Amino acid sequence: MARMPVLRSQRAIAAWALLGLGAYVLLPWYFLQQGSLWSALPALFADDDNANGLIQAAWHGRPWLWFGWAGLWVALLSLWLPAGRAQGWGLLAGAVLGLGGLLGSGFAIGAPGWAFAPLEAWLGALPRGQFGMGWGGFVALASLTVLLGAALARLGWFRGDLFVSAAVVGCVALLLLFVVYPVTRSLVSAFQDDLGVFQAGALWQRLATERIWGLACVAGGGRCGVAWNTLFLALLTATGTTVLGTLMALWAERGGTRLARPLNALAMLPIITPPFVVGLGLILLFGRAGLYNQFMAWAFGIAPTRWFYGVFGIWLAQMFAFTPIAFMIMRGVVQGVSPSLEEAAQTLRASRLRTFTTVTLPLLKPGLANAFLVGFIESMADFGNPIILGGQYAVLSTEIFFAIVGASLDPGMAAALALVLTAFALAVFFVQRSVLGRSAFTTVTGKGDAGVAMPLPAAVRRLAVGVSVPWLLFTVVLYLFAFAGGFVQTWGRDHTLTLNHFRSAFDLQWGASGLVWAGSAWSSLFTTVSLAALAAPLCAGLGLLIAWLLARTEFRGKAAFEFAALLTFAIPGTVLGVSYILAFNVPPLELTGTALIIVLCFVFRNLPVGVRAGTAAFKQLDRSLDEASMMLRAGTLTTLRRVVLPLLKPALVAALVYGFVRSMTTVSAVVFLVSAKYELATTYIIGRVGNGDYGVALAYCTVLIAFMSLVVWLLQRLVGERQLGRRGREH
């Protein structure tokens, strides 16, 4: 208890226990079938559907809810015990009683009664079942989870730090509920036969095929299996994005160029673009009827072919899509390299090139490893680019999609292929950990550092400029060419300039009652913006909190905790969407068809980028900063808010930007989760593309990019830059 005043921790524990008890009285317990929370409050003490937890347990035949009520009282009464191990055991008893009772009954009892036939045969039929948990159940479970963390802290775990303990327990609970549980529920079908019966050899029968593991391409006699195709493409993409993102970050931060801001804007452009825009632009350039093939036919008489479709086309599209992620990660890491270390090497008469290779580059190692890992997993899980540009080059994500929605409808095969993706991701994850090992990469300490960042060596600068400039020019050409389709009447036939596509989607009229949003795209745009704006700060906050726990705390199961935070990147979006439907279509959480399930999918789908960006940044921050704050009697939460968070601005910007724009542009993860009430921008665009209305689709994409560019700029201005007390170079 040395790090936390006893009185403050006692008040916090009491507040959480009272919050849980209040949820039993003041909030409807079950999910609201209709109406809002405010409209349900008058029926808290009577109505069967909207009653609170106490009324449900006492009057409506649901006695299992008493477990949570009793557990909260046990935890509250334990505060009368001395603040130590005795109190910890009391808190633990209350938390286990409440959580065990509520979660056990939640999974075991559904709307018609018992969810498992053996329980009904053993205990008899229930007079009534239950719906999914609502506001009351959620707040009570959250309170009991925090109380479990407090119990572990009192028992000496996490050095007795209540905030750290509650944060670890809370994050583990969220990852188990919204990542591990739905994914496991979906993947378990890989071990079931077509009738849903568990069969040990079912997985082997599905995976041991030539189509998945074949190596005919090595001998030149055919195609390789989809597993090897996916692995080769992922390695190629991860290497390319890491190298290109690093060169661009070095040029932007150390190149002495005045084009740093335009460079940042151009590098960010692909990440704020709906995924099919890049593919469509590349097809318009390099497809069979594209500009390049038409020119080659006109100039040299070379007949157009489908040469672009395949591994090269997918790789090029993924390079456009995922290089910005590597750039954002590496830019923050390059900013954090201490100039004093480079100056020390130059004082010992090391050349710029030798200093760069022996000092600067090794200090970039955490960022390089994280950028490679994110690029690798993103490539494996990518669906949009392979489905558009793959041609005959099949990968696991497209095979999973066709297994789910194709004519065969084989969810077991989809689950088996998803297991292969998870195994690949797990292997790269452990390779990354072994490469980094226990090496220290701290460059930001509590000492002042007014050193001048070393300019790039001439050879490195020439390489960075020689690679970055053509790539960025190519980016400009690609986007100008793609978005031209939104301003012409009919692409390929009538190139008359027009704004009719924009009017169709975003028309505004003035009616008798005021402004009328007459365009067909307004509803989907408003829905997407509101859900993405809600998901982005949740994703960034949770991601940086997990990164802080991984970097600053030690606990058993830490490796499994980190992998669970990265698991959603190893799972294709289509599988994640189906997993959420299977897991959250029945009690205890009935979320299908609501906006909340889309927000949760956004948060946990994009969580790994915030975790990896935060992890790379934390490896550069000396622990002495935290310790100095603690020595001045600041609590852990105060230290995190006032000392650590201001030094994480690059990682915070990366997490906020990525969380928002990916929520705005994601397709595969939510295609099964949207409903008529909650149509998203990407599903609207896909519908237009399916109808052949490319003009409206590209017009919508243009508006999305302009809007998200403004949002990214505002986020960067709002968060600001990290101040490290360093002097700029004099020109």
3-state secondary structure (DSSP) of residue 664: helix
Confirm if 722 and 649 have CB atoms less than 8 A apart. yes
Does residue 134 form part of some domain? yes
**In the structure encoding, which two tokens stand for residue 71, read together?**
């557990």
More confident residue, 81 or 291: 81
Does residue 154 form part of some domain? yes
Q: Is the pLDDT of residue 535 over 80?
A: yes
Q: How far is the C-alpha of 454 from the C-alpha of 462, rounded, in Å?
A: 16
Q: What is the pLDDT of residues 479-504, one digit of tens each?
A: 887 778 788 887 656 778 899 999 99
Q: What is the pTM of this model?
A: 0.79
Q: Is the pLDDT of residue 642 over 80?
A: no
Does residue 326 form part of some domain? no
Going by C-beta distance under 8 Å and a sequence separation of 6 or more, which residues neighbour residue 277?
479, 482, 483, 698, 701
Q: What is the pLDDT of residues 141-163, one digit of tens each?
A: 999 999 999 999 999 888 888 98
Mean pLDDT of 247-266: 77
Mean pLDDT of 681-686: 84
Confirm if 67 and 56 have CB atoms less than 8 A apart. no
- On the question of a cis peptide bond just before residue 588, with omega within 30 degrees of 0, the verdict is yes
3-state secondary structure (DSSP) of residue 489: strand
Confirm if 696 and 681 have CB atoms less than 8 A apart. no
Give the model's pLDDT for residue 22: 96
Q: What percent of the chain has pLDDT over 90?
A: 25
Going by C-beta distance under 8 Å and a sequence separation of 6 or more, which residues neighbour residue 586?
110, 111, 115, 132
Q: Is the pLDDT of residue 730 over 60?
A: no
Mean pLDDT of 451-459: 80
Q: What dihedral angle (degrees, nearest 10) is formed by the CA atoms of 157, 160, 166, 169?
A: -10
Mean pLDDT of 41-69: 89
3-state secondary structure (DSSP) of residue 474: helix
Q: What is the pLDDT of residues 50-63, one digit of tens each?
A: 899 999 999 988 99
Alpha helix ranges (H) inside 437-557: 458-483, 500-506, 522-552
Give the model's pLDDT for residue 726: 47
| 124 backbone dihedrals φ, ψ, rounded to 5° | 90, 160
Q: Is the pLDDT of residue 448 over 50?
A: no
Does residue 138 form part of some domain? yes
Give the model's pLDDT for residue 5: 62
Q: Which domain holds residue 104?
A: 1-160
CB atoms under 10 Å from CB of 348, counted, come to: 9
Confirm if 593 and 586 have CB atoms less than 8 A apart. no
Q: Is the pLDDT of residue 79 over 60?
A: yes
**In the structure encoding, which two tokens stand for residue 306, read together?**
């489908």
Question: How far is CA 559 from its chain centroid?
Answer: 18
Q: How far is the C-alpha of 422 from the C-alpha of 576, rounded, in Å?
A: 12
Between the alpha carbon of residue 664 and those of residues 415, 530, 701, the distances in Å are 27, 10, 11
Give the model's pLDDT for residue 136: 94
3-state secondary structure (DSSP) of residue 545: helix
Going by C-beta distance under 8 Å and a sequence separation of 6 or more, which residues neighbour residue 205?
none
Mean pLDDT of 72-86: 93
Going by C-beta distance under 8 Å and a sequence separation of 6 or more, which residues neighbour residue 176?
564
Q: What is the pLDDT of residues 380-398, one digit of tens each?
A: 878 778 887 888 898 988 8
Q: Is the pLDDT of residue 260 over 70?
A: no
List, as one string, the DSSP characters of 332-401.
HHHHHS-HHHHHHHHHTT--HHHHIIIIIHHHTHHHHHHHHHHHHHHHHH--HHHHHH-TT---HHHHHH
Q: How far is the C-alpha of 242 from the C-alpha of 263, rounded, in Å?
A: 17
Give the model's pLDDT for residue 446: 47
Place of tokens 């109190």: 87
User: How many structural domains does the chain have?
Assistant: 1
Mean pLDDT of 540-569: 84
Q: Which pairing describes strands 494-497 and 488-490: parallel, antiparallel, or unpaired?
A: antiparallel
Q: How far is the C-alpha of 647 from the C-alpha of 425, rounded, in Å?
A: 30
Mean pLDDT of 618-645: 72
Q: Is the pLDDT of residue 580 over 70?
A: yes
Confirm if 441 and 620 have CB atoms less than 8 A apart. yes
Confirm if 29 and 130 have CB atoms less than 8 A apart. no
Confirm if 276 and 667 have CB atoms less than 8 A apart. yes
Residue 724: pLDDT band with limits 50, 70, 90: very low
Does residue 188 form part of some domain? no
Does residue 669 form part of some domain? no
Residue 497 pairs with which residues in a beta bridge?
Answer: 488
| 723 backbone dihedrals φ, ψ, rounded to 5° | -100, 115
Residue 2: pLDDT band with limits 50, 70, 90: very low
Q: How far is the C-alpha of 523 from the C-alpha of 454, rounded, in Å?
A: 51
Q: How far is the C-alpha of 454 from the C-alpha of 687, rounded, in Å?
A: 51
- Of 179-183, 431-435, 457-461, 654-658, the range with the lowest mean pLDDT is 431-435
**In the structure encoding, which two tokens stand for residue 202, read together?**
């079912």
Q: Is the pLDDT of residue 616 over 80?
A: no
Residue 442: pLDDT band with limits 50, 70, 90: very low
Q: How far is the C-alpha of 162 from the C-alpha of 687, rounded, in Å?
A: 50
3-state secondary structure (DSSP) of residue 497: strand
Does residue 375 form part of some domain? no
Q: Which residue pairs from 497-503 have beta carbons closer than 8 angstroms and sit at least 24 positions apart in sequence?
A: 500/695, 501/695, 501/696, 501/698, 501/699, 502/699, 502/703
Residue 516 pairs with which residues in a beta bridge?
Answer: 509
Does residue 82 form part of some domain? yes
Going by C-beta distance under 8 Å and a sequence separation of 6 or more, which residues neighbour residue 143?
16, 17, 19, 20, 23, 72
Place of tokens 């568990």: 198
